């Protein structure tokens, strides 16, 4: 008899593909933006969020919704973790150093960061551009970014790479990896003699007037005024600490909607600050939005890139931690939008719809959210497993003497032990990274795994006691 783990995984995939899409915005009016935000919050059980639309001309629309885990109403000044949206900030800081002659984008990283090394001689060929475009050759399956205990610092994270091989030749394949940007942050520290956060503040944040924005070294680092984000299932959200990990340069920025609006305007502009000071050349800003070599058109220098069926180029980035999600999108027509939330979900769908509506084109169809659909299914399977286990214990006297090559309770135990790595394959290679995120984002999967193991053991124990 086959193990139930593949069956469960297949069921999960089928259910995910049949998921119902998140409602989308279809107009750029404020009332429609408010309706879209409210619909997204209700569909994803998001306690607190804010969406901002910046049109090519006209007034900015800012729509906050809900409350933080501290009970305060969300406003344009509420801090949020923006996770991987922070990579674009690192990209600007690197490009500034390139324009100042401190580095070249095609320069080998070992020339700028002598402590950088991997367990592969090809590592000497990794360039700054390779790190920016995620074409370094490093792979998530080898790095395991959420390994526990977590590295103490960015320097320790870079030191770990000495034991990590390359999966491919540098510059030949795009594989998204937070560690690429941690290396860039350490390179910035080496070149400037300052912490990444201090340099980013003086070189990027302060000139843009982003006075409420900070860059943390740790994903879970406490920031004044920042309430905890949430994990949950079946509409119930619980405020919990963020997963411990290094976020230097790759996801540690904490900001507000008011500050991020200034950042969005800068990205839609020509590289100057509101007072006309040049922060970055217009050519470098365009290059950051342009897909880099080896990325198959998917990634620039801190920005993702997508081309729609009608030929529109979408410049975007999402951010996802265990307790916060975010998304930002730019349009070549000069419009942009971002969404910040304090819970799991797919805010990139909403950001895409808001930009499309502001551009006056059909909204981009949102993708499905398999997590949202899997939660009740997995919990239902757990409930059925409990019922089956109770029946199995009650019937133990009648089955105690039977001999079978493989019993259902034994398969349940094996299935429970295999379920977590099987579910983690839906998004990531089986690793601490996948399992840790699974615990935060799919708690009902953990519940089902525990119930399968406990129920199988209970039935097997009852039968053994009857035989004795």
153 is catalytic: no
Question: Tokens for 187?
Answer: 């390179």
d(CA 275, CA 290): 26
Cα distance between residue 169 and residue 216, in whole Å: 32
Largest CA-CA distance found in the chain, in angstroms, rounded? 86
Instruction: Please report, for residues 81, 84, 198, 277, 378, the alpha-carbon distance to residue 437 in angstroms, rounded to integers and kept in the order given.
Output: 16, 15, 30, 41, 16
3-state class of 52 per DSSP? Answer: strand
d(CA 198, CA 209): 15
DSSP state of 203: I
391 touches 455 (CB < 8 A): no
Cis peptide leading into 149, omega within 30 of 0? yes
Task: Give the whole-angstrom CA distance, residue 407 versus residue 8.
Answer: 18
Answer whether 52's CB lies under 8 Å from 257's CB.
Answer: yes
Find out whether 239 and 203 touch, Cβ atoms under 8 Å: no
Please provide residue 225's backbone torsions phi and psi, each rounded to the nearest 5 degrees: 85, -10
CA distances from 40 to 34, 186, 338 (A): 10, 37, 14
Choosing from 84, 284, 305, 331, the catalytic residue is 84
Closest C-alpha to 415, from 380, 442, 454: 454
Q: Which residues are catalytic?
A: 84
């Amino acid at each position: 008899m086959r193990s139930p783990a593949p069956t469960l995984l297949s069921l999960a995939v089928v259910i995910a593909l049949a998921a119902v899409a998140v409602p989308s915005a279809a107009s750029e009016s404020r009332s429609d933006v408010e309706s879209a935000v409210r619909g997204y919050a209700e569909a994803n059980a998001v306690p607190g969020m804010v969406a901002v639309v910046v049109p090519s001309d006209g007034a900015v629309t800012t729509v906050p919704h809900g409350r933080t885990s501290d009970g305060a109403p969300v406003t344009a000044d509420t801090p949020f973790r923006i996770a991987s949206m922070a990579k674009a900030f690192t990209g600007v800081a690197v490009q500034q150093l390139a324009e100042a002659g401190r580095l070249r984008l095609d320069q080998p990283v070992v020339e700028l960061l002598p402590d950088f090394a991997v367990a592969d001689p090809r590592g000497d060929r990794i360039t700054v551009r390779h790190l920016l475009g995620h074409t370094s050759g490093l792979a998530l399956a080898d790095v395991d970014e959420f390994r526990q205990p977590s590295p103490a610092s960015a320097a320790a994270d870079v030191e770990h790479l000495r034991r990590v091989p390359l999966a491919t030749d540098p510059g030949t394949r795009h594989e998204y990896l937070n560690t690429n940007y941690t290396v860039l942050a350490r390179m910035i520290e080496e070149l400037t003699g300052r912490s990444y956060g201090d340099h980013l503040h003086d070189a990027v944040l302060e000139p843009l007037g982003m006075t409420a924005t900070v860059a943390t070294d740790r994903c879970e680092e406490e920031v004044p005024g920042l309430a905890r984000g949430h994990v949950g299932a079946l509409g119930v959200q619980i405020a919990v600490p963020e997963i411990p990990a290094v976020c230097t340069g790759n996801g540690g920025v904490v900001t507000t909607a008011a500050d991020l609006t200034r950042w969005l305007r800068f990205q839609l502009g020509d590289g100057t600050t509101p007072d006309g000071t040049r922060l970055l050349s217009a050519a470098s800003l365009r290059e950051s939005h342009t897909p880099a070599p080896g990325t198959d058109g998917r990634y620039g220098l801190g920005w993702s890139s997508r081309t729609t069926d009608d030929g529109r180029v979408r410049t975007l980035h999402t951010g996802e931690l265990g307790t916060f999600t975010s998304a930002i999108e730019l349009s070549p027509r000069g419009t942009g939008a971002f969404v910040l939330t304090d819970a799991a979900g797919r805010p990139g769908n909403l950001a895409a719809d808001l930009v499309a509506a502001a551009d006056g084109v059909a909204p981009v169809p949102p993708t499905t959210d398999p997590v949202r659909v899997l939660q009740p299914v997995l919990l239902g399977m757990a409930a059925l497993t409990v019922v089956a286990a109770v029946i199995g214990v009650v019937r133990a006297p009648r089955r105690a003497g039977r001999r079978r090559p493989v019993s259902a309770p034994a398969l349940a135990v094996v299935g429970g032990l295999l379920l977590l790595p099987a579910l983690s394959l839906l998004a990531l290679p089986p690793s601490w990274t996948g399992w840790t995120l699974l615990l935060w984002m799919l708690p009902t999967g953990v519940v089902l795994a525990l119930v399968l193991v406990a129920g199988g053991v209970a039935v097997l124990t009852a039968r053994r006691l009857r035989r004795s």
